[in-house]
Structure 1
Amino acid sequence: MYMTISDFIKEWNKEAILTQNVLDSLTDDALKQKVYPEGRTLGRIAWHFTTNIPDYLAHFGLKIARIDYGESVPSSAKEIAITFKNVSSHAAKMIEQQWTDESLGHIQEAFGRQESNASILMGLIKHIVHHRGQITVLMRQAGIKPYGVYGPPKEDWVHLGVENPPL
């Protein structure tokens, strides 16, 4: 749990870099990869968590610019990656400016439960991490080597001296 805004910002920035690396690896064609025939596309998932950040934070009391990104997903992977970079950076600044270490302990209603602001911020990171995991699987299905988020993808094990990576 985050005890200070600084603790949260360190984690946020670390996870934002990992997410940025994944998004920077995408191609325009990969955005069309679907979870299943009627399911969301990789592009829709990436656009969802990117554009959701300001809405999520505003819902919990932060004053943050809420841009209407529209319903359509950009056809450019680069546009999604740039938007994420801008949105995540702006979110960090707004949190640093508006919340204090003390405000992390404040309790409010979050998805039908009473949660501290620290838990709410952790929930935002977990939301992005959840969808980032979906994207890495869809990248593989789209024929793209996924970025190694918390460990190397299978293709990079050989560079670590491991010829048969663990399953």
Structure 2
Amino acid sequence: MILKNWIQEFDHETNNTRKLLQAVPQKDIHYRPAANSWTMGQLAQHIATIYYWYVGTLTQDVYDITADHFERGHPDDIHSTLALFENNVEKAREALVSLTEEQLADEWTMKSGDNVILGPMPRGVVVRGFLFNHIYHHRGEMIVYLRATGNQVPGLYGPTYEDGLRSN
């Protein structure tokens, strides 16, 4: 039952993420709110990359992130990031639907070479915390970036503040 609900949530929230990434304008791709922050393009690319991590997280008991290389494209090109996102979403959904309820209890670990980054912990905790919530966290950051640059924020859960201003 949990997986059925997570797949529905994944589909719904992927559409929200898509709307948000599509709202990123090329003209503001280099915007960063502080010197130690990512640019808007780097943040968008990171959001798209998290979907890539679903495969290693859901299909391997020990996921070595340094051994897993893939082409991300350039963070200064939002069209490249949108293509990366769509490709990663397709693979992520396949990995999610292949998972069983029993596998949610399996111990999972993320490593970077010999260093343990996360875990060991039950895979179900990782799905919720590291995958789903991680994306939601960074989407919130992206909303702040969009508003700081005067861009329209798409309604993810109904009308936005800006939508309300237009109707007055």
Question: Are the aligned partners of 2:50 and 2:135 in contact in 1 as well (CA < 8 Å)?
Answer: no
Q: CA deviation at 1:8?
A: 1.4
Map of 1:17-166 to 2, 5 A cutoff? 17-55=15-53, 57-59=55-57, 61-62=59-60, 68-69=70-71, 73-97=74-98, 99-109=99-109, 111-123=117-129, 124-158=131-165, 163=168
Question: Are the aligned partners of 2:51 and 2:85 in contact in 1 as well (CA < 8 Å)?
Answer: no
Q: CA deviation at 1:141?
A: 1.3
Of residues 42-51 and 72-81 in structure 1, the stretch that sits farther from structure 2 once superposed is: 72-81
- 1:5 has 2:7 as partner: no
Q: Which has the higher contact order (CA 8 A, sep 6+)?
A: 1
Over 3 Å counting, the alpha-carbon distance change for 1:51 and 1:43 in structure 2 is same
2-side partners of 1:88 and 1:62: how far apart?
18
Of residues 107-116 and 29-38 in structure 1, the stretch that sits farther from structure 2 once superposed is: 107-116
CA RMSD after TM alignment: 2.7
Structure 2 length as normaliser, TM-score? 0.78
Question: Are the aligned partners of 2:59 and 2:95 in contact in 1 as well (CA < 8 Å)?
Answer: no
Of residues 128-137 and 52-61 in structure 1, the stretch that sits farther from structure 2 once superposed is: 52-61
Gaps of 5+ in 1: none
Q: CA deviation at 1:81?
A: 1.9
Determine what percentage of the aligned residue pairs are the same residue.
Answer: 23
Other structure's SS at 1:40 match: coil
Q: CA deviation at 1:82?
A: 2.5
Structure 1 length as normaliser, TM-score? 0.78
Question: Are the aligned partners of 1:26 and 1:139 in contact in 2 as well (CA < 8 Å)?
Answer: yes
| Counterpart residue type for residue 150 of structure 1 | Y
Gaps of 5+ in 2: 62-67, 111-116
2-side partners of 1:60 and 1:51: how far apart?
15
Q: CA deviation at 1:90?
A: 1.5
Other structure's SS at 1:26 match: coil
More strand by share: 2
